[in-house]
Structure 1
Amino acid sequence: MSRQTFLEPFNAKAMSYAEVARTFVPSTKFILLAGAWHSVLVGPRGGGKTTLFKMLSAEGQEAWTKPASEPYKKTMAYTGIYVPSDIAWGTMLESLMEAGQDENVGILFSEAAFVTHVLLGVAAGIDRHVTLNPVQRAEAATEAATGAPTQADLERVIATIATLWKVHPVSLSPASLVDALRERLLEIKRDARLRAKLKEGGMPTEKYLGMDMLESASQALQAFDAAYRRPDHRWCLLLDEFEVAPMHLQKTVLAAMRASGAQKLLLKVALAPCGPDLLYEQLSSAPPSQINDVQQVELWYADKAEAIEFCQQVFLSRANSYPALAGKTPSEVFGTSAYAVVDDSDEAEQIGLFTQAGRNKKHVKEQFQSLAEKDPTFLEFLRRKQIDLSQELGMQPSDTHGNTLRKIAPLVAFRNAYKGKGVGRKRGVKPFNTAYSGWESIAAISEGNPRWLIGLITRIMSNSDQVQFPVPTPQQTAAVQWNCQRYAEMLQSVANEQFGSIKTSTPIYDVLSKIGTYFHNRLVTTTFVEDPPMSFIVDERVSDDVEHALRIAVNHGAIVCFEAAADVGGFRTLRGRRFRLTYLLAPVFKLPMRKSKSVSLSAILEPKPEAAASQEEPPTNPAGEWTQGGLWAN
């Protein structure tokens, strides 16, 4: 199978609107985001932010021609304008300040570049609308006409907009307006560069400085919609990857979301979960509220079933283009896994997985007996629970000890695979690959992140001669291990600074490795317990340096929060919040994919020497209804 069938292209930033629309799968996240309200979209790299924003744009909606798209389009009572990010917004400010310019001068030029980018998007939107809805001939302009303006009307509107924006198009047409703004953008960058190099002093006087983005765009669109006799029409700015924008721009845009009442221009902003906007102290103005001002959409899933359903739709959207997979379900292609995420609320599903995956009673019993022979603490657990291995081991709720046996069976399998003979000893490092094959495991490992899922499936299906279904377990696990190792290598090379404001001297992967190693040892070498901790809480004893390393990890999807972000835009602090390692790292650190109780992060990073190997129960958070937030998601 060609790698391109699933994987190429999969980065929406480099894809055309038609390419994005061809395989687009609407999710509940899209529904929440698409409404006619201000929105903040929060998610890690690869989580699908750019895909969603492109599909909300006018170009994306036009390219989305599938019949199933109609109900979604009806909810969008606005014209979307996609505005990609530009690192020049930040570098312009930095270069001017490094040259000794006043910070306010740098902010003015940075804002001017940003405003011009936005107005360029607005002008392109106007140009597109005029192309699709041509002006009338002057002699046809009657009361019975379609409502389109005449050429003279359009020219008057363009002249008005040019005056508002202080540009000089060569002709009074939307296309010329676009060209004038492109020239303006080059002019801003040139003026800022010259000012920095020549070290000019004093306040600049260029006319494009100090323009307000919302007012400039809103007034222009009001004039344009009036000409088309649709004064109540709304537009929406889709500001992608806005975490790269300087802090002052983020403050300006987020503050604009607090405006109340009917508005010509809606704002939808995509942000990383831990961006610079969440590190500054709010001054006199309060941030927007999730209750009153914005709809915050987070690209991780509190409901595992919802994430798996989305993964299945992503699979089907691409699989149908490959003859061997057409009409097949993911479970038919990859089989099932009894070692997917254990969720006590999905009891029936877990029972079914054991049955479908062929984890028969004999196999389970062999695992239990093997571990009991080499692990005295497990044997003691069985005695305490009065579980007799000479008897039949049933996994049904009606069976004696059925719930307990079903819950610990994956733990027994993991522990037996890695446990050596003798207290605190481990056997070789050969991975327990069975745990990472089967559709449920593949979907769990992907975290509902479309880029990760496509990468996993692509690697598994890279053999063009694949005809055997389910795909053999060794082929699945080899591909999963390869992808997970590449992800781990990426994390090892991640910079220790992001956005100029999140800085740490602690290597990000070092922290993740300590966490993963701790959980693996708790699972394998210490006293057997029914529910070993597999999650952690960032407690007050954790240093700011480590917390900043974790903030970078969150932005890359390496750790997953169990809770929704209380602050607009993501997490202002990680302290007091519960996390787990992404399941994409589970094969790397040899961990099961399951829910569990938590332990304080300081207990992981600074363990007491005397309690290292024999500790049965580290400080944990027994509370703990599991409300995993799943990603994280482009």
Structure 2
Amino acid sequence: MNESSLRNLFEVNNARTQSIEEVVRTFVPSDSFWRLVNGKNHVVLGARGSGKTAVLKMLAHDHFSRFDDPTISALVAGRKFIGTFVPMRADWIGTLKNKPWYSLDDSLRSFQWRLNLSCCAGFISTVESCLRSYCPTQERIFKERDIADMLRQSWVPNGRAVDNLRGLRTVLEDVEWEAQVNALSATTPIRCGPEKPTGGVFDSELFGPINRGIQILKRVIDFPDDAIWALALDELEFLDESHHELINTFLRGKSTLAFKLSTMPYFHHTLRTRTSQPITAGNDFDYVYLDNDPSIRRTDRRGWTDWANDVLSRKVAFVEESRAEEFSLTKLLGNESPLFDEKPSSWQQDSSMMLLLKKFGNRATIERAQRLSPKAFKDQISRKMHGMLLLRDYADRSGGHKKHQLYSGPKLFALCSDANPRQLIRLFNELTLRRGADNVLDAKRLVNQTIQSQCAISFSGDILQNAATEEGIGGELHAFIKNLMEYFHSRFYDQQLTTDYYYAIKTPNDVTDELWELIRHAVGLGLMFPKASFTQPDSLPERGSSEFDMAFRLAPKYGLLPRKGKPVPLLAALKKGKMAPELHCSYQMDLL
């Protein structure tokens, strides 16, 4: 394998910057993805790096039609699902927020103009893909000429003539540039009248121009009446509440488009619309929460490992197909995960684990362990306490300063990714790219367990440090998560152990706006996860009296177990930290 190719592949782990071929060949479809392939409206939720952009790109026809899957191949052949991907580009979203002279209506008109233009630009890629999929080669050039000219006349009637889609794309680029130039020379919003004839069509009703484009495409290529036309709008967290209201209006009403919107959890800013009636989940749209995908997060640990192995194998196969069959996390990391290996049904009285239980367990737990049947002992004691006892023993013997092997093995590796593709690849980088010429994929031996553990701890520390760089809230967010993790560390190491493990928080009913804002951003970055029910996995809990699990990948930095735990009151966890003085006095009863 070419190491530079490997290096480039694993350093670029954001779907926004990947080619169509790379996204398609490295994509691992989850249950959440399949739920989107229909005519319903969806709002896709997921922490940063969870794969929202990849999922929405895969719904676009230029990606969808290239994916090797029998179900998708049948939909493509039947011309049943035609999607268009449109990113909410930070550059033009930012320009809307940097014009204080805009009124709300001015801002919305400018937003509508730019979004209409962006949808049409994205639709050109859909048209190209449909021509490639459904038109014989000898006819394609003539059909492309016809549709390019018809689209140009509909979208930019006063623009120059074009005879192919590349020329049409250039015309739209020129329209956008002209708008930017005019905006720089004026203190009024973009208005397309006599002074701006080329882009006037994009002032029409939102999504009107792309709907017109669909009608024109149907004249050139036959599609069945029940074909689904999907519009995937990515990263809506960048938008304002007023922008969400405008888009929500189209989820409420009858539309020829099936909307697939993505945003971070708790960043679907409002359910209001521009009418008197709000949209409702389960009626006008469905939430799909990627971070709680049942095919990964809600399976046993083997499910996590299989997912991680599949993601990395496809990455390797993209660089060199022949190496894909050779790669596996087991070959790289071994079979053992000391903290999560299968536990025995009983511990002999003089066994090392029983001695650790007697040393670190509280009296009630020790007495209960000695009277349980082997089956009950495995379920209630060894399964729950094995990893905790190993961590306590290491800290007791070494003071936490010696290197160890506890954070190693495929199961640990998968769990510390939190089922987040980007974090999985970042953790993989700790084992590969940062080790210089020692490329582990070409190594003849397993990666040493001590090195694995060091990488997991280093990765965990970097995660917390990265939170400090978050614009506008980084300092407070870093302090907030650090306070919580120090509390869980103290609780774990300063008390005798029971079968209960604490690694979650519960918010008070009257949580302040400041603390809720920190929680929202922590969930958006994947530093904590709302406890969603098994019956309603996509419903996020409200701000008051809700529970949140800490991210598994934070655990190694603090010598903790990357495992779900019981919750503690949020304010109780913060009361000993630096944030305690900022807590509102009305919360003090919650600490009791």
Please say whether Structure 1 and Structure 2 have the same fold, judged by a TM-score greater than 0.5: yes
Give yes or no for contact 1:117–1:185 (8 Å, CA) kept in 2: no
Question: For residue 117 of structure 2, what is the aligned residue in structure 1?
Answer: 116
- Aligned-pair CA distance for 1:442: 0.8
Give the 3-state SS of the residue equivalent to 1:507 in structure 2. helix
Give yes or no for contact 2:281–2:287 (8 Å, CA) kept in 1: yes
Question: For residue 233 of structure 2, what is the aligned residue in structure 1?
Answer: 239
Give yes or no for contact 1:112–1:210 (8 Å, CA) kept in 2: yes
Q: Report which stretch shifted further, 598-607 or 284-293.
A: 284-293
Residue 464 in structure 1 maps to residue 442 in structure 2: no
Structure 1 residues without counterparts, runs of 5 or longer: 138-145, 341-351, 389-393, 421-426, 498-503, 610-617, 622-634
Question: For residue 480 of structure 1, what is the aligned residue in structure 2?
Answer: 456
Which of 544, 547, 566 in structure 2 is aligned with 1:578? 547
- Aligned-pair CA distance for 1:567: 11
Question: For residue 227 of structure 1, what is the aligned residue in structure 2?
Answer: 220
Question: For residue 336 of structure 1, what is the aligned residue in structure 2?
Answer: 336
Question: For residue 271 of structure 1, what is the aligned residue in structure 2?
Answer: 263
Residue 19 in structure 1 maps to residue 5 in structure 2: no
- Aligned-pair CA distance for 1:541: 4.2
Distance 1:134 1:337, change over 3 A: closer
Q: Deviations over 1:569-588 (max 9, x none)?
A: 98584333211211110011
Higher relative contact order (CA 8 A, sep 6+): 1
User: Partners of 1:412 and 1:336 in 2: how far apart?
Assistant: 17
Q: Deviations over 1:404-441 (max 9, x none)?
A: 23322222222333358xxxxxx733378544211111
Distance 1:325 1:525, change over 3 A: farther
Over the matched positions of the two proteins, sequence identity in percent amounts to 17
Residue 304 in structure 1 maps to residue 299 in structure 2: yes
- Aligned-pair CA distance for 1:175: 3.7
Question: What letter corresponds to residue 492 of structure 2 in structure 1?
Answer: L
Give yes or no for contact 1:537–1:600 (8 Å, CA) kept in 2: yes
Question: What letter corresponds to residue 173 of structure 2 in structure 1?
Answer: R
Give the 3-state SS of the residue equivalent to 1:125 in structure 2. helix
Distance 1:162 1:365, change over 3 A: farther
- Aligned-pair CA distance for 1:476: 0.8
User: Partners of 2:404 and 2:271 in 1: how far apart?
Assistant: 45
Distance 1:91 1:8, change over 3 A: closer
Question: For residue 343 of structure 1, what is the aligned residue in structure 2?
Answer: none
Give the 3-state SS of the residue equivalent to 1:593 in structure 2. coil
- Size of the aligned set, in residue pairs, is 557
Question: For residue 497 of structure 2, what is the aligned residue in structure 1?
Answer: 528
Give yes or no for contact 2:245–2:274 (8 Å, CA) kept in 1: no
Question: For residue 252 of structure 1, what is the aligned residue in structure 2?
Answer: 246
Question: What letter corresponds to residue 219 of structure 1 in structure 2?
Answer: R
Give the 3-state SS of the residue equivalent to 1:181 in structure 2. helix
- Aligned-pair CA distance for 1:22: 2.3
User: Partners of 1:90 and 1:31 in 2: how far apart?
Assistant: 30
- Aligned-pair CA distance for 1:598: 1.3
User: Partners of 2:130 and 2:274 in 1: how far apart?
Assistant: 40
Give the 3-state SS of the residue equivalent to 1:40 in structure 2. strand
Structure 2 residues without counterparts, runs of 5 or longer: 579-587
Give the 3-state SS of the residue equivalent to 1:236 in structure 2. strand
Give yes or no for contact 1:34–1:75 (8 Å, CA) kept in 2: no
Which of 197, 209, 218 in structure 1 is aligned with 2:211? 218
User: Partners of 2:190 and 2:41 in 1: how far apart?
Assistant: 40
Distance 1:255 1:242, change over 3 A: same
Distance 1:84 1:366, change over 3 A: same
Question: For residue 417 of structure 1, what is the aligned residue in structure 2?
Answer: 394
Give the 3-state SS of the residue equivalent to 1:599 in structure 2. strand
Question: What letter corresponds to residue 168 of structure 1 in structure 2?
Answer: G
Which of 294, 298, 322 in structure 1 is aligned with 2:285? 294
Give yes or no for contact 1:563–1:577 (8 Å, CA) kept in 2: no
Distance 1:556 1:108, change over 3 A: same
Q: Report which stretch shifted further, 177-186 or 515-524.
A: 177-186
Q: Deviations over 1:72-131 (max 9, x none)?
A: 34356222222122124432322222xx34332232222211211111112343345446
What is the TM-score normalised by the length of structure 2? 0.82
Give the 3-state SS of the residue equivalent to 2:99 in structure 1. helix
Between structure 1 and structure 2, the one with the greater Rg is 1
- Aligned-pair CA distance for 1:337: 1.7
Distance 1:599 1:167, change over 3 A: farther
Question: For residue 178 of structure 1, what is the aligned residue in structure 2?
Answer: 169
Q: Deviations over 1:31-80 (max 9, x none)?
A: 1123333222111111111222222222213443x4xx222343562222
Distance 1:167 1:113, change over 3 A: farther
- Aligned-pair RMSD on alpha carbons? 4.0
- Aligned-pair CA distance for 1:7: 1.3
Question: What letter corresponds to residue 111 of structure 1 in structure 2?
Answer: Q
Question: For residue 94 of structure 1, what is the aligned residue in structure 2?
Answer: 97
Question: For residue 397 of structure 1, what is the aligned residue in structure 2?
Answer: 375
Question: What letter corresponds to residue 544 of structure 1 in structure 2?
Answer: D
Distance 1:363 1:91, change over 3 A: farther
User: Partners of 1:133 and 1:201 in 2: how far apart?
Assistant: 38
Question: For residue 143 of structure 1, what is the aligned residue in structure 2?
Answer: none
Question: For residue 140 of structure 1, what is the aligned residue in structure 2?
Answer: none
Residue 369 in structure 1 maps to residue 355 in structure 2: yes
User: Partners of 1:415 and 1:481 in 2: how far apart?
Assistant: 16
Q: Deviations over 1:373-421 (max 9, x none)?
A: 5x5xx35235542639xxxxx99516x676323322222222333358x
Distance 1:177 1:486, change over 3 A: same
User: Partners of 2:456 and 2:369 in 1: how far apart?
Assistant: 38
User: Partners of 1:213 and 1:364 in 2: how far apart?
Assistant: 74
Larger helix fraction of residues: 2
- Aligned-pair CA distance for 1:604: 1.3
User: Partners of 2:535 and 2:93 in 1: how far apart?
Assistant: 27
User: Partners of 1:395 and 1:476 in 2: how far apart?
Assistant: 36
Question: For residue 430 of structure 1, what is the aligned residue in structure 2?
Answer: 401
What is the TM-score normalised by the length of structure 1? 0.77
